[in-house]
Structure 1
Amino acid sequence: MRFYKIFTTLSFVALLSSCAAVNYSYDGKVFKDAYSSIKSEELKENLYVIAADDMEGRDTGSPGQKRAADYIINFYKNLNISHPPEMSSYLQTVPADYMNKKSRRGETFNDSANILAFIKGREKPEEIVVISAHYDHVGTKNGVVYNGADDDGSGTVAVMEIAEAFKQAEKEGHGPKRSILFLHVTGEEHGLFGSSYYADNPIFPLKNTVADLNIDMIGRDDADNRGQNYVYVIGSEMLSSDLKKINETANAKTNQLILNYKYDDPNDPQRLYYRSDHYNFAKKGIPVAFFFDGIHEDYHKPTDDPEKINYVLLQKRAQLVFATAWELANRKDRIVVDKKQ
């Protein structure tokens, strides 16, 4: 009996020591394995489906958008990443009435849906890090399909790959300390409808939402940065003095992209801080960072096709978002909200 107690105690101590030895830093094997799982060829494979002609430009509430949603959901199912337990499926319906009331151009819409996938945190599951992208585009005009490979097929597949990376770490016994919500929103092109609806009808209390990392166009370059390894980062210090520092450290420890803050100003003439889905989180006092490649020559044109994507650069940018999310999810303390809009 005494030997059994000693053995049990030693086993328990060994178990604790093993858990304590897990290195969640950027130099640790856990992070490196997950980070390396984000691959350009997998991003390309998924984007050629999301931005294919048979998706018909993924207009809000269209059959093509629903086919894209089915593909995204099946991706998560195959990875064994479920929807939030508070939901009965991956879909959060965004009613037509909600969008029609917000329509700025007199447009009318069919019901559409946000897609929510979820990995529960190990230590602080009630705290949520959101990684978002819109999966809609502008549809078909005069019989011509606007495929929206960069806008925002690139963000869509990046979120999918980032989810796979977090899932790999979880399968190895090192899931995130905080929960991660992978949020694919609808209706961005017509007025940020999906993110607005989620912010008005959150699945998790917004007070528990740590940050939103929003990805909208990260597969191309613009004329000012042609051929460079860069990404625009917008809004990362608007509400939190922590978030910009975390993102810059993540970048320095990984691919060392050029972080361009040209548009990181609410008074910029392009007003990009207000023009993507992160803004509906920022309005609620949630720290945000918006990752963006700039306005290029195929923006909102039928020539925004998957063969024009720089998949190596797309991989590097997706890895940066993952590295930033990794720190947000695994650091000891939740980031501060110490600034106001």
Structure 2
Amino acid sequence: MPFLLLFALCLGSSPYLAPDSVQTRLLHPESYADMIDRKGLDSHIRFLSDSSLQGRETGTAGGSAATIYIAGKFLEYGLVPLGTGNPQHHNTTFIQGFACPAGQRGRNVIGWLPAGKQSDEYIVVSAHYDHLGMIGGNFYPGADSNASGVSSLLSLVQVFSTLQKEGYRAERNIIFVAYDAKEFSMTGARIFALSLGIPANQIILNMNLDLLGTSLEPPGAALDYLLILGAGTVSSDIVRSLNNNNSFFNLGLDLDYSFYNSPGFADIFFTMTEQSILAQMGVPSLLITSGLNDHTYKPSDTPQIIDLPVLEKRVRWLFFTLWDLAYR
């Protein structure tokens, strides 16, 4: 039986008046952004890229260990399965099992945080957690690809769940999904999209996090950069939010939408990552990445290549932007 998780949350560019029981209290997102720190990000990355998980290949014991870790964090932080409180769904666990074309057993991990008031609008935040495993006796850790994206997703889950526990509920639902089987034709993302049961026009945005942890391939002089693909699929309001939250909170990221001024390569890279599946269904979708580098898909993709200060800044930007989109 498919097994889903979901999470709702977002950001703002000034102090916010939160809804419902806390509507008289001003909410300062900066104080919650401090929960996102390099120590927590590093901890998730090191666990997922540890040799004991043997590269997290789909259908292996190491892949299952990663599944259990992510689902455990969803539960610990306070997400609920997608069927909880949602009459459109009947999933009572976080795990969505499926078969890959070659016979491997994959498992998506899905949870959500429902909006404070009933809403038919959703934001999907996603990252794949599988990697190459062991090839020819060589261990492929996959620290950047894509333990960095999953670590970022888990950090967002933690901070938004804390907000909900303290009475700050979003205006829109947010789903968090950790995909399996990216390396098997993105089967996990395809299964998620086919079984979701939410009309495409009710999903205002999918933000997919992949290869998010390095500062090795900047588009310009700044190492504090972020590559954003798919801006043409989203509204001008969303693009404005991406830029405004970077400047308002003085993050100073170099947000690049051109992918090294190579539109052809940008299109190829976009279609090779999971947000393209929802984009094909008409969902506004963005790929958030620090780009390919000399360690991608190599045994040298270890925690040592992660730029933790820059990753921390990127995840805080994600938090502010998601807050803006979910709470306004």
**Aligning the two structures, in what range does the TM-score lie when normalised by the shorter sequence?**
0.7 to 0.9
SS of 2:160's equivalent in the other structure is: helix
Offset of residue 318 of structure 1? 1.2
Which of residues 237, 243, 255 in structure 2 aligns to 1:242?
237
Which of residues 74, 88, 96 in structure 2 aligns to 1:92?
96
Which consecutive unaligned segments of at least 5 residues does structure 1 have?
1-15, 101-107, 332-341
Is the 8 Å Cα contact of residues 129 and 180 (structure 1) preserved in structure 2? yes
Is the 8 Å Cα contact of residues 125 and 179 (structure 1) preserved in structure 2? yes
Matches within 5 A, 1:35-54: 35-54=33-52
Aligned to 2:254: 258
Deviation larger for 256-265 or 155-164: 256-265
Aligned to 1:325: 322
SS of 1:214's equivalent in the other structure is: strand
Which of residues 225, 242, 265 in structure 2 aligns to 1:269?
265
Is the 8 Å Cα contact of residues 225 and 255 (structure 2) preserved in structure 1? yes
Deviation per residue, 1:212-266 (Å, 9 max, x gap): 0110011002344576100101112324222211111121122120001222889
SS of 2:121's equivalent in the other structure is: strand
Q: Which amino acid aligns with 1:150?
A: D
Percent of pairs with identical residues: 23
Equivalent pairs, count = 301
Distance in 2, matches of 1:129 and 1:174, equals 17
Is the 8 Å Cα contact of residues 231 and 258 (structure 1) preserved in structure 2? yes
| Cα pair distance change 1:204/1:307, threshold 3 Å | same
Distance in 2, matches of 1:171 and 1:218, equals 28
Aligned to 2:276: 279
Which of residues 284, 292, 296 in structure 1 aligns to 2:293?
296
Aligned to 2:173: 179
Deviation per residue, 1:108-165 (Å, 9 max, x gap): 2312111002111102433211100000111111111101000010000100000111
Question: TM-score, structure 1 length as denominator?
Answer: 0.83
Question: TM-score, structure 2 length as denominator?
Answer: 0.86
Is 2:145 the partner of 1:151?
Answer: yes
Cα RMSD of the aligned pairs, angstroms, is 2.1
Structure 1 residue runs of 4 or more that deviate by more than 6 Å after TM superposition:
none
Distance in 2, matches of 1:222 and 1:67, equals 29
Is 2:224 the partner of 1:229?
Answer: yes
Is 2:309 the partner of 1:312?
Answer: yes
Q: Identify which of structures 1 and 2 has the higher relative contact order when contacts are C-alpha pairs closer than 8 Å and 6+ apart.
A: 2
Distance in 2, matches of 1:244 and 1:193, equals 29
Is 2:123 the partner of 1:129?
Answer: yes
Q: Which amino acid aligns with 2:78?
A: N
Distance in 2, matches of 1:160 and 1:204, equals 23
Offset of residue 267 of structure 1? 4.1
Aligned to 2:24: 21
Offset of residue 70 of structure 1? 0.4
Which consecutive unaligned segments of at least 5 residues does structure 2 have?
1-18, 85-89
Q: Say which structure is richer in helix.
A: 1
